[in-house]
Amino acid sequence: MPKTPVDQIVAGPIEPGVKKKNPILVVDGVRRTFGGLTAVNVDHVEIPAGAVTALIGPNGAGKTTFFNLLTGFDKPNEGSWNFKGENLAGVPAFKVARRGMVRTFQLTKALSLMKVIDNMLLGATKQPGENMFRALFPFTWKQREADVEERAQSLLARFKLDAKKDDYAGSLSGGQRKLLEMARALMSDPDLVMLDEPMAGVNPALTQSLLHHILDLKEQGMTVLFVEHDMHVVQEIADWVIVMAEGKVVAEGPPSTVMSDPAVIDAYLGAHHDTDLGTISGQLEVAEEMESDLIRHEVEEEAAHDGK
Amino acid sequence: MDFNFIWLSLGEIASPTTAAYALATIGLVVHFGFTGLLNFGQAGFMAVGGYAFAIATLKFDAPLPMAVLATILASALFALILGIPTLRLRADYLSIVTIAASEIIRLSVKTSELTDITGGATGLNGAAKTFNAINPFPKGNYGFGVLTYTADQLWVRVVGWTLVALACLVVFLLVRSPWGRVVKGIREDEDAVRSLGKNVFSYKMQALIFGGVLGGLAGMLFILPRSLQPDNYGTQLTFFLYTIMLLGGATTVFGPVIGSMIFWVTLSLSDGLLALGINSGILPITSVQQGPVRFIIVGVALALLVVFRPQGILGNKKEVFFSA
């Protein structure tokens, strides 16, 4: 899946809050405070439709709070946001999901005491059997059940979980739970998928396959917004990057240029984000930069010790 | 020696009280086992149901169907009142509110100002009159030996167990339906279910009302063979129901039935055995201590069960395995 060119995304000069040609989500003046702390204070931001957008920023920048606000899991003090042209402010979380904006959680929420297949079926929409009275008459919902089960099977096969279909979700490994949560969110055929740190705690091989799944979503016409700390991942799959710090959007842009933005380096990456701190030369470079004789001395001593 | 107590204990298997406890516990299983609602006030639901039935019958001369309707509506209303403020909050708030509310009910109906309606501390007598009036069994004795019942005693047993069977059937159908899947999801993690587009509050309310109505009907069943005594609805009743639920299996449909039978047979059998031991001088306790000692036995049995078979008699071992 090729990256979406920048000129197809933006409709103006690249800067925080830039207008997009085809935004699926438009956020205006959303502010959330916890006592004296302003966790989120976003003036204006637009999420481009049909693209993969990464939301990055230091811990405590308000990324997850921002996610919670947009999906109705938390209420802002003020502000409004539109999804596909419809106002979403004040809409409860379950209705947000029904309108086509689903999310996953930073701490995976697999429903442990339910089978993998039941986890999947729960993600389906328009199941009449979820009405208490119709539930008593299986003939009213059996047909829909068969349809969604078929969809669940094919999604499980895509995420290589089909062998685990009848296992309890609690028996899955951490990485498999991430896959299950993502597959479950896709059961409702959403327009916008919001992934909160999908790669956290996942091994490199599985990260590769998760990346493919995310690009798959884009190929199928879905919009993806994800929070991630791994810059390699962001470089590889994101068409657009939004950088948050202290609750504000401090930078926006395509991944290739946003990483060299001084505001991003100051707030998030740090001056030595490309230096490998696992090597002596890398540590020396940092020590020189910091003009600290103490650290330099320590590193040299350690190198001499290793050399013996 | 008199070994009749063995037969009497076995008679507990089919007694209307066992049926009433089973029915109330089925309600509790809907709350706690399937939806994860920590309801510590099932005794309150039974009290509301029992009083609604007795007051409608005795004070308003309501015909039986109206009295049953009053029972259902009153317990549904009680669930609604408890649920609206608490179901949006964390699970523990519901448990605090339900245990308090059930005590409020018990202490309120006892106040002397309400004696005209609720009978005060003495309770109400004869609520079964409309129920026994439609007894289809001809007068006479049924059964054998010490297990001989009058027509009215047989009638309440038949109706009681029919109600239990119906409740089991409805719960069985519900938990195997997509509705059951949603409430089990809520038990596991309600935010995850919310993120999948389900109205969690509404489902929790439906489950609370449904289980509460079962509790109310159990309260009605409980007073059919006896008078209505406010002190029967203390917190210990709720904890007996929890004992029965854990005994049978908290996430099973038929566990409450088995659990209730074992609970009552054990109580009755140990009572008989203790009496035997005391009368023959084997046991160094008095007959006054006999009653409390039975509950010690039940308590020890429950502790052993939780250690060695945490899923209950009918439960699924795997479900306990992954709950940690």
- pLDDT category at A236 given cuts 50, 70, 90 is confident
Q: Residue A248: is its pLDDT beyond 70?
A: yes
CB nearest A114 (choices: B185, B195, B198): B185
Cβ burial B121-134 (10 Å sphere, 16+ → b, else e)? eebbeebbebbbee
When pLDDT is averaged across residues A213-226 and rounded to a whole number, the result is 92
* Per-residue model confidence (pLDDT) at position B324: 41
pLDDT, one tens digit per residue, over B242-254 is 999 998 988 899 9
Measured CA distances, B16 to B57, B140, B162 (Å): 20, 19, 11
pLDDT, one tens digit per residue, over B282-314 is 888 888 888 888 888 888 888 888 888 888 888
* Per-residue model confidence (pLDDT) at position A292: 65
Q: Calculate what percentage of chain A has a pLDDT beyond 90.
A: 53
Measured CA distances, A218 to A106, A183, A197, B58 (Å): 21, 14, 17, 69
Grouping H, G, I as helix, E, B as strand and the rest as coil, residue A166 is: coil
What type of residue sits at position B284?
Answer: P
CB nearest B197 (choices: A94, A113, A138): A94
CATH number corresponding to A1-110+172-271: 3.40.50.300
For residue B75, give the nearest of B40, B44, B103 by alpha carbon: B44
Nearest-Cα residue of chain A relative to residue B183: A130
* Per-residue model confidence (pLDDT) at position A290: 67
Contact between A136 and B170 using a beta-carbon 8 Å cutoff? yes
Q: Calculate what percentage of chain A has a pLDDT beyond 70.
A: 92
* Per-residue model confidence (pLDDT) at position A278: 67
Grouping H, G, I as helix, E, B as strand and the rest as coil, residue A83 is: strand
* Per-residue model confidence (pLDDT) at position B273: 87
Collect the ranges in chain B with pLDDT lower than 50: 324
Residues of A with Cβ-Cβ distance to B184 under 8 angstroms: 111, 113-114, 118
CB nearest B194 (choices: A94, A104, A113): A94
Residues of A with Cβ-Cβ distance to B206 under 8 angstroms: 132
Q: Residue A297: is its pLDDT beyond 80?
A: no
A174/chain B closest Cα distance in angstroms = 14
- Residue partners of A80: CB distance under 8 A and separation at least 6: A28, A29, A30, A87, A89
pLDDT, one tens digit per residue, over B172-191 is 999 999 999 999 999 999 99
Tokens representing B27? Answer: 């309600």
Domain parsing of chain A, residue ranges: 1-110+172-271, 116-171, 275-308
Tokens representing A52? Answer: 């993969």
Higher pLDDT, A290 or B30: B30
User: In what helix (H) or strand (E) does residue B239 lie, and over which residues does it extend?
Assistant: helix B235-248
Distance CA B43, CA B212 (A): 10
Give the lowest-confidence range in A150-154, A287-291, B36-40. Answer: A287-291
Q: How many A×B Cβ pairs under 8 Å?
A: 107
Question: What does pLDDT average to over chain B?
Answer: 91
* Per-residue model confidence (pLDDT) at position B285: 83
Residues of A with Cβ-Cβ distance to B198 under 8 angstroms: 94, 122, 130
Distance CA B50, CA B34 (A): 25
Distance CA A64, CA A70 (A): 10
